[in-house]
Amino acid sequence: MSASREAAGPVPLPADTTTHGLPSSSTSEEYPDIQQGASLLLALRLQDRPILLIGGGVVASQRLYFLLESGAHITIVSPSPLDPSISYRISDPNTSPQITWHDRPYLGREDSIKVTEYDLVMTAIDNNPLSQEVCEMCREKRVMVNVADIPPQCDFYFGAQLRKGPLQILISTGGLGPRAGAMIRDIIRNALPENIEESVEGVGLLRSELRKRAPGVGGQRGQERMDWMKELCDVWGLAQMERFRDEQVRKYVLDEGWEKKKMVAPSEVKQGQRKTTAEIWEQVKHFGHTQWAAGLGGFGAGMAVATVATIYLTRNAAR
């Protein structure tokens, strides 16, 4: 068969496919148009990662705050005096282990501190030529850099940020209008449910326990897990998700929902009242050892008193 195909030449593609092997029936209505020029918004995990921060003023203090919350180790190069908040973080025992401060100006290419020693580099200084030099150094060595207030020299932006517990939201205008981004952030903050932190925490606990029951990444099992979790979130809604912080609620939802391949609505679950047979039996046994024992003891004492009284009355009647 292979010989006959070679003799006949290449096999033409079916009429309903493109040259890339995709159905030609696909339209722009199914897949949105690509609009280049956007930033790729990522949540970087910087725990214990080395970051170089050049500058010690107000803008540098804002950068430092977010870096400290990320758990990074920050090397600050700036002569004193520093912004008061930076001085406070350096002296505070809770944050000082994350900071190394060099009380001097940064010297660019002549400096003993090299950009290649850091995962990210940030400048927040009023010296534009030095900032430009740092940017060139970083791009030569393929180190990502952020030069405050000069978007063309930034590989990443900070944007307007909002944090409520485990929830973090970043608003970016691509460097066009930081104040506009902050205003949009405030609108979002006012629109969020009051219990949003508890809801995110609750759904996180449920998702973690679901992954233990259905481990693995990809494949049919993984897809089923993601589809079930997505539908469950849609059914419960943000306001009800905080109930997942209750261990008994999570257990009931997973036992009666995931294990039985169905959805469990919030109205089907009573907060903290769902117990297994084993738990109920343990409660009964505990009750038997305590309350029933006390009750029987009281019953016995009552019988003894009644017996003595009966004997006393009988003897008096006989007289």
The catalytically annotated residue of 149, 186, 227, 234 is 149
311 vs 309: CA distance, rounded Å? 5
Q: Is 149 a catalytic residue?
A: yes
Quick one: DSSP state of residue 57?
Answer: S
Specify which residues 122 forms β-bridges with.
53, 146
Distance CA 226, CA 223 (A): 5
Q: Are 153 and 132 in contact (CB under 8 A)?
A: yes
Within 10 Å of residue 201's Cβ, how many Cβ atoms?
18
Contact 137, 115 (CB under 8 A): yes
Burial of 26 (0-12, 13-18, 19+ CB in 10 A): exposed
Q: What are the structure tokens assigned to 284, written together?
A: 């009964």
- As annotated, the active-site residues are 149
